[in-house]
Amino acid sequence: MRKGRVALTAAAALGVVATSALVTGCGSGGSDDVTLKLVAADYGDSSANGSQKYWDELTAAFEKDHPGIKVDVDVYSWDVVDDKVKEMVDAGKAPDMAQIGAYADYAAAGKLYSADRLLSIPVQADFLSETRDASQVDGVQYGLPFAASTRRLFYNKTLFEKADIEPPKTWSQLVADARALKAQGVRYPFALPLGKEEAQAETLIWTLSNGGGYIDDVGGYAIDDKRNIAAVDWLKKDLVDAGLTGPVTPAKLNRTPAFQAFAAGQVGMLAGHPTLMNMAKAKKLDYGDVAIPGPDGTPRSTMGVNDWMMAFKQGGHPDQVGDFLDYVYSEKNVLAFSREYTLAPVTVSASETMASSARDKDIRPFIDELSGATFYPANKTSWPQVSADIKAQIGTAVSGDVSAAAVLGGIQNSAAAAEAAE
């Protein structure tokens, strides 16, 4: 017997864990062997910690305890994994599960199982409440949060000491620090990666910092909100035009080379996610991280990011898929994944464990910032196209003669049209 929908808050998860044996007492059912296909993204930053190794170890342990269910996992880089799944779905060969960056298109097309058809009650209730809105389409949860992170301002302690400056708390302090770093000959006083790799994230960081964001109070797109325009204008006038963002124009600077430059000691400060800690430590860089500055201090909201797990209906076997996903989302396995790849966990149980563990002290600020974070509107089927438009166009708003108002206005018009067509 599996699993029934339930409307519980994530905070209530611990109160229902004791009933899990009753809820999930029935097994997969049936005597025939089933092989499930999972396509997943690679979170590793080297061959030593690639995600294929993680999944191979997890599936081996699962299969040992679940005779009759095999799980075949193919791992692809983030550059291609979403396209790979789309190709499979378009060819009529959808995987049983996919762990990728977006789910809403598939949910809207009726291709996905809902969470309540798959997960036991304790597992479904254990997801952090902050992720709930972004995981639902028309009030039904189809996206299963898989990995989370927020962004903080990383800074090079050695360069800051040489320049005799402190990490900034406001926009004006950030600009003053960048000027001091430039005077010391720092290659990238403030790195601003607005290239196509993740420009939608960098833009959201600084628009949220000014009280804006991509969505208005009623859930519609607000790309050209006046607070967003003011934030992009500030980036252009006070940082880019002032020569404080380094030798590569922001429109051509991607996140990965920016992170690599930081780890190599060439960047004074930039917005980064927890993976940057690993890169910095590997290079023995003395770094610090603080909250993203706001115009007058801490911003109204920080940016949160979720990656998603989803299960396709095409292959059937929802009970076996559910058994596997219950295993994936056990506290033990969420902790193992989060610690391996230095990411914030997506469940209450794992978050509470990491928040109280000395071994996880470096990532604790990122976990704390998930509360109240603002996420991409991943529940909108139009979001992938809007995100692509931001990636392609936002760099021109800080590096050319086109105004921020014009660029953001154009993206808004396209976003509104795409939303109307949903």
183 & 294 share domain: yes
Identify any residues that bridge with 270 across adjacent strands, giving them in sequence order. Answer: 154
Quote the pLDDT of residue 130.
Answer: 83
Identify any residues that bridge with 153 across adjacent strands, giving them in sequence order. Answer: 271, 290
pLDDT of 353 strictly over 70: yes
Q: Which helix (H) or strand (E) holds 338?
A: helix 331-341
Quote the pLDDT of residue 268.
Answer: 98
Query: How many Å apart are CA 420 and CA 412, to the nearest integer?
Result: 12
What confidence tens digit (pLDDT) does each residue in 106-129 have? 999 999 999 999 999 999 999 998
| Mean pLDDT, residues 259-267 taken together | 97
263 & 313 share domain: no
270 & 408 share domain: yes
CA distances from 277 to 154, 261, 263 (A): 9, 13, 9
What confidence tens digit (pLDDT) does each residue in 380-414 have? 999 989 999 999 999 999 988 899 999 999 999 99
144 & 156 share domain: no
223 & 281 share domain: yes
What confidence tens digit (pLDDT) does each residue in 199-241 have? 999 999 999 999 999 999 999 999 999 999 999 999 999 999 9
Asked if the structure places residue 5 within a domain, the reply is: no
pLDDT of 372 strictly over 60: yes
Asked if the structure places residue 368 within a domain, the reply is: yes
Which parts of 119-253 fold into alpha helices (H)? 121-125, 157-163, 171-183, 199-209, 226-234
117 & 184 share domain: no
pLDDT of 298 strictly over 90: no
| Mean pLDDT, residues 33-51 taken together | 89
| 147: its two tokens | 């990995």
What range does the domain containing 135 cover? 10-148+305-374
pLDDT of 71 strictly over 50: yes
pLDDT of 11 strictly over 60: no
Query: How many Å apart are CA 75 and CA 50, to the nearest integer?
Result: 9
| Mean pLDDT, residues 2-28 taken together | 37
| Mean pLDDT, residues 295-303 taken together | 86
Quote the pLDDT of residue 44.
Answer: 85
Q: Which helix (H) or strand (E) holds 279?
A: helix 275-282
Tell me how many domains the chain contains: 2
Residue 193 one-letter amino acid: P
Confidence band of 343 (pLDDT split at 50, 70, 90): very high
Residues 37, 79, 235: CA angle, nearest 5 degrees? 140
115 & 77 share domain: yes
Quote the pLDDT of residue 17.
Answer: 36
CA distances from 282 to 103, 138, 260, 263, 285 (A): 34, 44, 11, 8, 8
Least confident of 7-21, 119-133, 173-187: 7-21
The CATH number that applies at residue 323 is 3.40.190.10
158 & 138 share domain: no
Asked if the structure places residue 407 within a domain, the reply is: yes
144 & 292 share domain: no
Confidence band of 359 (pLDDT split at 50, 70, 90): very high
63 & 166 share domain: no
74 & 194 share domain: no
Query: How many Å apart are CA 376 and CA 396, to the nearest integer?
Result: 22
pLDDT of 19 strictly over 80: no
pLDDT of 14 strictly over 50: no
Q: Return the percentage of the chain with pLDDT > 70, whole number.
A: 92
Q: Which helix (H) or strand (E) holds 318?
A: helix 318-328
| 161: its two tokens | 């000491």
Quote the pLDDT of residue 32.
Answer: 67
pLDDT of 29 strictly over 60: no
130 & 232 share domain: no
HEC secondary structure over 215-241? ECCCCCECCCCHHHHHHHHHHHHHHHC
What confidence tens digit (pLDDT) does each residue in 72-98 have? 999 999 889 999 999 999 999 999 999
| Mean pLDDT, residues 335-355 taken together | 93
Identify any residues that bridge with 155 across adjacent strands, giving them in sequence order. Answer: 269, 288
- Interacting residues of 229 by C-beta distance below 8 A, sequence separation 6+: 404, 405, 408
DSSP 290-311: EPPPBSSSS-S--EEEEEEEEE
pLDDT of 337 strictly over 90: yes
